[in-house]
Structure formats: structure tokens, C-alpha cells
Structure 1
Amino acid sequence: MNQSMTEGSSNTTIANVIYVLYLLALINGITAIVGVIMAYIYKDGAPQWLRTHYELQIRTFWMGLLIGAVGFLLSWVLIGIPILLALAVWWIVRCVKGLRFVGERAPYPNYLGWGL
């Protein structure tokens, strides 16, 4: 196996690990921090199609943190609870779609957007 194939396989493994860490963060919260650090470390050396995943993971972390903070603050007046539930669904869908696209070795479509 040549070196570029090995690096490509390693990079897809890292992207998959980050998605799994993000999913685990719904239970423990802390693994998302590890995941975003890994995404920052590996994005520059990745091929363009894989870089879309790292960019999405970084954006998902920061958008999730922002929405989560707003939802937490608003949970004192009960409006935040639906926001936090919607955030969890949004987070899960982005991660599951990301895992699927990495498995297909395809870029994540519209990775710079807020949507799914």
C-alpha cells in the first residue's frame, strides 16, 4: 500500500472518530472538545473532500456551543427546553450524515451552512 493511501485511510478514520466523539458528547459533553481540537489539527493536511468534514465539525462545535448556551439560559423560562431538544436532533443528524459521507469518501454538501 502506498503512503498516500495510508494517509487517506488514516484521515478518514480521524474524521469518523471525531463524529463519534461528537455523538458521545450528547452523553458526557467533554468529548466534543477533544473532537474539535482534533478537527483543527487534521484539517490543514486533509484532501479537499475531507476538509469539508473537518470544517463542518468545527462549525458544528461552535454553533452547537452558541445555541446550547442560549438554550440553557432560556431554559429558566422553559423556552430553552425545545431549543435544546432541537439542538440535539440537529447535532445527531449532522454527525450521522457526516459518517455516511465519509464512508462514501464524498465531501459534505453545504458544509458551511447552518442546516443539515
Structure 2
Amino acid sequence: MPQCPAKRPIAFLVFATALATAGLAMAAPTTSRGLISVDQVAEMLEKAPTDRTAQQVLTAYLAGVGEAASAVVTMGNAACQKPLSLNAANAGQALKGTASDRGAETPATPLIVSDMLHRAGCRRP
């Protein structure tokens, strides 16, 4: 029986939520403020090459970070010398050194976004 087209996004949302919940459950804890920590992302980066769930959760997280950063840059009319880009290697490099110092309480997303903007040479008008 064919699925109603209106129900497809709902089914995808339920699947994506379940996937993210499963992946975050196996990750290090978030910060005390509930933000995704450097330690969480570092753990996903470490596990992703051999753990399919970690790979999927990491991909979803990085896609969300990249999409949000791109939207903010576009809406803010920022000028960038190069296109924004993000992958696991970039994220790992942006977080390098932080995980061992204060990674459990340091939010990862601002560090990754800042690195993205720096690599693209973005400036506010």
C-alpha cells in the first residue's frame, strides 16, 4: 500500500530523531547547560570510522551546523572570500586541543562555526 506523501516527512522526522537519540546516548554527556560538548563531538569523530550509528549522528550534526552557519551568513549579508565548507576533518581540527583541557563543558558548535567562517574568510559588511 503506497504511503501518503504528507506522511513521508513525519516518518523521516521520527527516524532522524530516533537515530540522533541513539547516537547521543552513546556519546559523552552534553555540557551542564545542555549544549553539545567538545567531548561529545570528539567521541563521535573517533567512533565514526568503525561505528555506523556514530557516523550517521556525526553526519547529521555537521550537516545541521553547516546549514545553520550558511543561513546566518546569508541572512547577515556577510562577505566570504571562499564558500563555507565543513567535514569531519575540519571539525576535528577546530576542536583540536580543547577536548583534553575543558571539553566536557565547552560547547563544540561555536568553535566549529568560528573555524568555518575563518577558513572561508567571512567578514561582516
For Structure 1 versus Structure 2, the TM-score category normalised by the shorter chain is 0.3 to 0.5
Hey, which of these two has a bigger chunk of helix by percent?
Answer: 1
**Under a length normalisation based on structure 1, what TM-score does the superposition of the two structures give?**
0.37
**Under a length normalisation based on structure 2, what TM-score does the superposition of the two structures give?**
0.35
